Chain A
Amino acid sequence: MSTDRRTTAPVSSREVRSILTTAQPRTAGWVWGVVFGIVAALSTVALMATSAYLITRASEQPPILHLSMAVVGVRAFALGRAFFRYLERLAAHDAAFRQLETVRVDLLRRLIPLAPDGLGRTRRGSLLSSLVSDVDELQNLPLRVVQPLLTSVGVAAIAVWVVALLSPTAAAGLALALVAAFAVGILVARRVSASAERTLAPKRAALVDALLDYLGSLDVLIAYGAEETGRRKVEAADRALTRALTGRSLGTGIAAAALSLFSGIAVAWSLVAGIPALSTTGGGSLSGPGLAVIVLVPLAVFEVVASVPLAVSAWRQVRSSAERIARVAPENVPAEISVGEGTRSWKAEPAAPAIELRGVSTSWPGAVSPALTVSSLTVAHGERVLIEGASGAGKTTLAHVLVRFLDHTGTYRLSGQDVRELPVEQVRSVVGLCEQIPYLFDESVRQNLLFARETATDGELLNVLDRVGLGDWVAARGGLDSRVGERGALVSGGQAQRIALARALLRNFPVIVLDEPTANVEADLAGALLRDLLRASGDRTVLLISHGDVPAGLVDRAVRVVDGVIAPA
């Protein structure tokens, strides 16, 4: 059932681009954020320019009135820098959070047709948490990539223009220095670190694998005298990673060093360009204060554009997050996932069996061979059938075919109707599945039941809890408002199964599939749980999937799945 290949396959750049497009806000609020950002950064440059002007002009000892504009300017820009920066951050974050709405809804829209079987499953089941953090990472696109880049470009352009008014030669030097700093900083640094980054990822993964291997099996390793060997494997992986990191460190400082160097060169060039142009000594029209301005402005401009290398590395992270999202949630739903929808309305034939499978075959996405073939399986109304077989034999696959999570070839009839002709919702209103690990939402018991039937009264909820054997438990925990904890952490495996069945009963599915209800239950409690579950199911049609003991008398008959095959009875 491994679908690992899908997590390593290359993703189309079109999909990545479409995800990035969704992540970038285009609202008025966002534009204001950029404007405030540019004003704030300009204030930084202007503060330096006006201070330089004020001091050099003052040393010429003009009437104090001539300085008042500069004094006001210095104070205003000092206030403006902090003030506009605050406004910028508020506006930009607000816009980014507004965009999050679109990003999340878009992701949900992609995931709905895929869940659960179309989601590439990773070995450690960390898919969900990584998806969530990748979606959060997308917020950095507007905040840490686009915004600083626009601010830097905007401020650099304006500063070059202002300097050009005083000395075109100095302005040309400043522009060249900026371009050179980025060319060196970004291109060279990317060359060095991109290749290091590629070799780092597998080394990081190897270290995590070695750590999991060592720590997860420490008891076994000690008991078998193999602890030293396991430890040496971790040390080797650690050494390899540390060596690679040390190698990459050669590239990390290039961008910052280039900025520092070229800012010095720009300042020196401004001196060389400005001094001969001084009106006092040279033949030009530049005043003393003018010289101070064109020499000191580059310092401030380089301080502003120092955010560009950070933006470039943020961009790399955002892009790889977008790639991961595109890989997990592709826009095109794999063919193996049931998407075909009929429009025929539901009309059960009373004489037909509840479920009838003929020549059904189904595969997991990306798999080469079918996971399950059923030549013939018929379940009558009200019948209780045990589906047994070793783990991995294809029992869960059958459950997922029955609720149309997976598509199939061959015929699958529900009360005589071919499910392909029915809307998927219709099929799912007839066949209900209690999953192997029932998902409990981090809310109250009431909320975890209500979504199965929103109109249910508290009386009905308590009644159904009683039927699945949870009446006393809920009462002891403080009633329907007691919480089940994150992913049902406050609830045992058996209780979770009972809640899942209670939901199915509320929803009133005529057919219920119980997928290994005892898989996460202490073995000595399993028998009682199965008995309770089947008693509560009443006269519904039940398919019970299990690999272990089922007490006698609970089911009408058993069907065996062997290596993905259900042979004819």
Chain B
Amino acid sequence: MTVRPLDPRLLRYAVSARWFLLSGAALGVATTACILAFAWLLTVCITGAIDGRPLAELLPQVGLLVAVAGIRAALVYGQDLLAARGAARVKSELRLGVLDAVRRLGPGWLAGRSSARVATLLGRGMDALDDYFSKYLPQLILAVIVTPVVVVVILLQDWVSAIFIVVTLPLIPIFMILIGLATQVVQRRQWAVLGDLSSGFVDTLGGLATLKIFGRERRQIDRMRSITRDYRTQTMRVLRVSFLSSFALELAASLSVALVAVSVGLRLVDGSMALSAGLFVLLLAPEAFLPLRQVGANFHAAAEGVAAAEDAFDILDAVKTTQADAPVPAGERVATSGPLRLTDVSVDYGRGAVLAPISAEFAPGRLTVIAGPSGAGKSSLLGAVLGFAPHTGTVELGGMPVRSSTEERPWLAWTGQRPSLVLGSVADNVALGSDPVDAVRVRHALNLAAAPEISPDLSVGVAGAGLSGGQAQRVGIARAIYRTLDRRCPVLLLDEPSSALDHDTEARLLDGLRALADGGTAVVIVSHRAAVIGRADAVVRVEPMILAAAS
């Protein structure tokens, strides 16, 4: 895994990260001063006492020592406070930035991914940045500030010790990289085995009901034991190598301190050095290594956070390659009524057309069914009308071309295959986007959608929780009907509206849709159910591009 110490995109996309780095650097400078002052005061006190100065004479220095410790504690506290706040702000900033990007990329882009995955990335995924900000970045800042300053101070005191340290310091990143590479090699060799073994655990838990049906559940206990045992031996094989990196870190740091101590000691014996210089160097030497050791120790935590942030950066990068919708020219006339006409409309997501060009007209007062086998691109065709799918050909309403954009189409009421209900009451969902809510109309829309038994006050959880599939589907249809009535939309578009309904309910729904068509709306239904096609005034057939092999 190649992790740059600091991804420049973090600074580009999260302005608060720059602010965090600047304040972190200020704290780092103050911390360096405290480290030097503490070591120097301590040296003065110890050598002073050994030289025979009484406690009373040294008390001011001891007092200063406590004061410096207090300041240091305040800086440590400030560093943590800053890290926690910085992480919270950067997370919020990235989250809202990605939401903006997703909005600009549009539902067509989101359909190619899982919206739940993006939600997880923006919710829990971002929390991986916490460790990056609290454990890794502050240490990185200190490594950049404290280490060089301490080395220079040591150099001024005793150049021999400085050479020991300067020679050992670069060994740390070199060892870390070498051992990291070795770990990768071992890991790659074990990867498949480890993947199988850890999925074995998940699989056994997930398939427990199936195993019970076949009377195999008791045998899983032994299997679990052996899977876990193999998992341990394989993992330990990887760990034996990867723990070497911390071994090298510790060894380099402690050995160089030991070398400094021994060489200082030997030069003190022959009197070529003063105790104060020796002690001062000894106290400072570990400080030169500490931030680097911490950076190394928290490298993995950081890598995880960076990986989460990178997913967010990728979405932010993607938006740059898509151009924004052209602004609406002032005074452009937009039709709000008339027939919907498609001419040679085909959909292409950039990997070739997914739909044979379609031409069709959907006239007011008529109920048209778009039929065709699954996978023929019926839903993509609706996407083109909605503006979510990039298309060729023209879409016209009342003779005026419809602009291709992901903005709301005021003349269109639509519901997709998934009802996509939002948190709130049934009435909130039915009257989505309308304010104020017309309670009578909500009831009327539910009745037309064959849902007379659903109360508008019923609450709906995330992703339609609390409603059955059939209920959610009808609430979604009622939502489109409400909009048709409320905004006088000339076109009502329904994608597989009866897929979760039984025959009786389907028939009642079709009665309701027929009543809407009689009121002058162009009702367009995507369906291949015989009962729906039987009630249509016209049927548009969509054929698949390529004759796929039967599954």
Report which A residues bind B (CB closer than 8 A): 2, 43-44, 47, 50-52, 54-59, 61-62, 64, 67, 70-71, 74-75, 77-79, 81-83, 85-86, 89-90, 93-94, 97-98, 100-101, 104-105, 107-109, 111-112, 115-116, 123-124, 128-129, 131-132, 135, 204, 207-227, 229-231, 234-235, 238-239, 241-242, 245-246, 248-250, 252-254, 256-258, 260-261, 263-265, 267-268, 271-272, 274-276, 278, 280-282, 288, 291-292, 295-296, 388, 390-392, 403, 405, 425, 428-429, 432-433, 435, 438-439, 441-443, 451-452, 473, 486-487, 492, 494-495, 503, 507, 522-525, 547-549
Contact = CB atoms under 8 A, between A and B. Distances in A.
A494 B407 CA distance: 37
Contacts of A132: 201-202, 205
B416 interface: yes
A267 B433 contact: no
Given A212-B463, A215-B118, A268-B69, 20 more contacts: A55-B279, A56-B275, A58-B269, A86-B247, A89-B246, A100-B228, A101-B224, A112-B220, A115-B209, A115-B212, A209-B462, A216-B119, A220-B422, A235-B96, A252-B84, A390-B470, A435-B209, A451-B211, A486-B199, A547-B502
Contacts of B92: 238-239, 241-242
Interface in B266-299: 266, 268-271, 274-275, 278-279, 282-283
A213 B423 contact: yes
Q: What 9 pairs between A and B have smallest CB-CB spacing? A: A264-B69, A253-B80, A249-B84, A224-B433, A78-B258, A261-B73, A97-B232, A82-B250, A219-B107
Would you call the interface of chain A mostly helix, strand, loop, or mixed? Answer: helix
A449 to B, nearest CB: 11
Contact of B119 (A56, A215, A226): A215
B80 A264 contact: no
Interface string B381-423: 0000010100000000000000000111110101110001111
A428 B107 contact: no
A225 B408 contact: yes
B215 A428 contact: yes
A245 B89 CA distance: 9
Given A47-B254, A78-B257, A428-B215, A54 B432 contact: no
B102 interface: yes
Nearest to A51: B261
Nearest to A123: B465
Nearest to A129: B202
A55 B278 contact: yes
Nearest to A494: B551
A428 B55 contact: no
A61 B50 CA distance: 14
B282 A52 contact: yes
A56 B50 contact: yes
9 contacts: A59-B274, A64-B266, A85-B247, A94-B236, A128-B202, A128-B206, A219-B110, A241-B88, A257-B77
B190 interface: no
A238 B95 contact: yes
Interface stretch (B41-49, B149-157, B327-335, B511-519): B41-49
Interface residues of B, number: 151
Interface stretch (B181-189, B237-245, B339-347, B535-543): B237-245
B352 to A, nearest CB: 22
A227 B103 contact: yes
A275 B49 CA distance: 6
Contacts of B107: 218-219, 222
Interface stretch (B58-66, B353-361, B436-444): B58-66
Interface in B109-134: 110-111, 115-116, 118-120, 122-124, 134
Contacts of A494: 551
Contacts of B461: 123
B209 A405 contact: yes
B425 interface: no
Nearest to B58: A275
Contacts of A256: 76-77, 80
Given A97-B236, A208-B123, A451-B216, A54 B262 contact: yes
A217 B110 CA distance: 10
A213 B518 CA distance: 35
A39 to B, nearest CB: 13
A72 to B, nearest CB: 10
A257 B74 contact: yes
Contacts of B102: 215, 218
Q: Which of A77, A223, A495 has the most CB of B within 10 A?
A: A223
Contacts of A473: 551
B366 to A, nearest CB: 22
Would you call the interface of chain B mostly helix, strand, loop, or mixed? Answer: helix
A425 B258 CA distance: 68
B408 A108 contact: no
A78 B254 contact: yes
B193 interface: no
B242 to A, nearest CB: 10
A239 B257 CA distance: 48
A219 B235 CA distance: 44
Q: Which of A222, A392, A429 has the most CB of B within 10 A?
A: A222
A451 B62 contact: no
A533 to B, nearest CB: 15
Contact of A204 (B99, B123, B283, B433): B123
A519 B282 CA distance: 73
Given A238-B95, A257-B77, A260-B72, A292 B46 contact: yes
Contacts of B70: 261, 264
Given A212-B115, A253-B81, A275-B54, A435 B215 contact: no
Contacts of B423: 209-210, 213
B58 A292 contact: no
Nearest to A116: B209
Given A272-B55, A429-B215, A216 B116 contact: yes
A438 B210 contact: yes
Contact of A503 (B214, B254, B415): B214
Contacts of B244: 86
Contacts of B407: 222
A214 B103 CA distance: 10
Contacts of B203: 441-443
B214 A101 contact: no
B236 A288 contact: no
B420 A257 contact: no
A503 B215 CA distance: 12
Contacts of B225: 101, 105
B85 to A, nearest CB: 5
B42 A433 contact: no
B232 A101 contact: yes
Contacts of A64: 266, 269
B528 interface: yes
B534 interface: no
A226 B432 contact: yes
Contact of A439 (B66, B210, B254, B270): B210
B499 interface: yes
Contact of B433 (A74, A115, A225): A225
B452 to A, nearest CB: 14
Nearest to A273: B55
A238 B213 contact: no
Contact of A276 (B55, B81, B106, B218): B55
B204 interface: yes
Q: Which of A47, A54, A209, A452 has the most CB of B within 10 A?
A: A54
Contact of B221 (A105, A238, A388): A105
Given A271-B45, A275-B58, A224 B408 contact: yes
Contact of A218 (B69, B103, B551): B103
B239 A90 contact: yes
Given A252-B84, A267-B42, A435 B243 contact: no
Given A56-B279, A204-B123, A212-B462, A257 B73 contact: yes
B69 A265 contact: yes
A257 B77 CA distance: 5
